[in-house]
A = this chain, B = another copy of it.
């Protein structure tokens, strides 16, 4: 359910990022509004108590506490610790995305190396890719709640066609105290070896290529599993959370407008404190959203769609498109050495005057 907005920011303009502020889905408002309401309510409650419920002496104590709280705002470098922590979380988030394997690569290798248009050839190619997708599915259902909801157990996977009944039985009979995602990949290597024996794979090179690729697919799934297992150390997350919440608790008192300050105007609605709340809490929410990108947030990776895409693409490449290519026909510039590619009217302005040849020519 990734929220993509790159199209809107293709070109910098004076409203480019401003427009993004109007979005709701995956937005700061959607993430922060509940916290904001709690904060608002508490703030005005305290304000009300101070203005109407307290007598002079109590007001004085209130004011002293407020002043004390206000000085605290400078004692904890919230922005500093948030800057470092969010940088860490964003780094892990992108590393996790890059750890998601794509079966495309393997599909191209399988279609290129495992030959034969007969039924057994098709069967082998399709089964190979199905096992790869199954392995992907088992891993994802272990680490992603939305996938778990869709495929809560092996039976659902079988129903969806990722497994056959006999395979499910074998899988369930394997005694292992660890996650079994790698089992279908082990089957894959056996099938590759069989195909080599049957001569459907022509050379040992291709076997090596395929097994290497299966293994690096396994490695990436293992990597995803490790990201799931080894969280950012709890104490770091606690330190950051503590800093932000303490900051706002101190703000509740410290930002109250006190009667004794003759100078500053008595503005009932502390606009900037609220904006500050949006800012710091939003920054913390960046971390909350990204710390587990396989969850249910608007900006989490859309793994269910990937699962569909992978199986569909795999079958397309290794079965329908196998060993097919269009007839070889001479292209348009066959006898031309010095051709120029056309530009549409709309894109005429992009026609480059000269290609860059190196800085020393300028």
Given A27-B235, A123-B330, are A288 and B186 also a contact pair (CB < 8 Å)?
A: no
- Number of copies of this protein chain within its complex: 5
The complex places the Cα of A236 from the Cα of B26 at a distance, in Å, of 10
Contact A241 B21, beta carbon cutoff 8 Å: yes
Inter-chain contact B243/A11, CB cutoff 8 Å: no
> Which chain B residue has the least Cβ–Cβ distance from A333?
B161
Does the CB pair B205–A202 fall under 8 Å?
A: no
Beta-carbon nearest neighbor of A241 in chain B: B17
Asked if B189 contacts A112 (CB within 8 A), the reply is yes
Complex: A108 Cα to B90 Cα, angstroms: 33
Asked whether, in the complex, the Cβ of B68 is within 8 Å of the Cβ of A272, the reply is yes
Give A248 Cβ to nearest chain B Cβ, in Å. 12
Q: How far is the CA of A90 from the CA of B86 in the complex (A)?
A: 13
Which chain B residues border A93 with CB–CB below 8 Å? Answer: 233
Contact between chains at B12 and A31 (CB < 8 Å): yes
Give bound CA distance, A315 to B331, whole Å. Answer: 11
Q: Give the Cβ gap from A176 to chain B, nearest Cβ, in Å.
A: 6
Is there an interface contact between A90 and B88, defined as CB atoms closer than 8 Å?
yes
Kindly list chain B residues whose C-beta atoms are within 8 Å of the C-beta of A250.
Answer: 272
Given A68-B264, A149-B344, answer yes or no on A288-B9 (Cβ-Cβ < 8 Å). Answer: yes
On chain B, the residues within 8 Å of A265 by CB distance are 61, 64-65, 67-68
Does A58 sit within 8 A of B, measured CB to CB?
Answer: no
Inter-chain contacts of A21 with B (CB < 8 A): 238, 241-242, 245
User: In chain B, what residue has the closest Cβ to A127?
Assistant: B328
Q: A68-B265, A130-B331, A304-B343 are in contact. List 12 more A-B contacts (CB 8 A).
A: A7-B362, A11-B296, A31-B235, A75-B276, A80-B83, A112-B189, A149-B350, A182-B313, A182-B317, A230-B301, A242-B278, A246-B272
Q: How far is the CA of A170 from the CA of B88 in the complex (A)?
A: 46
- The answer to whether A328 and B124 have CB atoms under 8 Å apart is yes
In chain A, residues 43-83, which have Cβ atoms closer than 8 Å to a Cβ of chain B? Answer: 61, 64-65, 67-69, 71-72, 75-77, 79-81, 83
> For the complex, is A185 an interface residue (Cβ under 8 Å from B)?
yes
Given contacts A265-B68, A285-B12, contact A344 B156 (CB under 8 A): yes
Question: Per-position contact with B for A177-209: 1 when CB-CB < 8 Å, else 0?
Answer: 111001101111111111000000011111111
Q: Do A351 and B67 touch (CB < 8 A)?
A: no
A355 and B177: CB pair below 8 A? yes
| Chain B contacts for A115, CB-based, 8 A | 193
- The docked-state distance in angstroms from the alpha carbon of A11 to that of B242 is 19
The size of the chain A interface, using a CB distance under 8 A, is 214
CA distance A75 to B247 in the complex (A): 12
Contact B5 A234 (CB under 8 A): yes
CB of A256 within 8 Å of the partner chain: no
Do A34 and B9 have beta carbons less than 8 Å apart?
no
Decide: B316 and A20 in contact? CB cutoff 8 A.
no
* Distance in angstroms between the alpha carbons of A273 and B291 in the assembled complex: 30
Bound complex: CA A316 to CA B156 (Å): 26
Contact code string A77-121 (vs B, CB < 8 Å = 1, else 0): 101110110111010010001000010110011011101000010
A20 touches B241 (CB 8 A): yes
Interchain CB contact (< 8 A) of A329 among B166, B222, B230: B166
The CA of A343 and the CA of B148, in the complex, are separated in Å by 11
- Report the separation of the CA atoms of residues A115 and B67 in the bound assembly, to the nearest whole angstrom: 78
Query: What is the CA–CA distance of A133 and B346 in the complex, to the nearest angstrom?
Result: 22
1/0 contact string of A215-243 vs chain B (CB within 8 Å): 10011001001101111111111111111
Which residues of chain B come closer than 8 Å to A304, judged between CB atoms?
A: 343, 347, 350-352
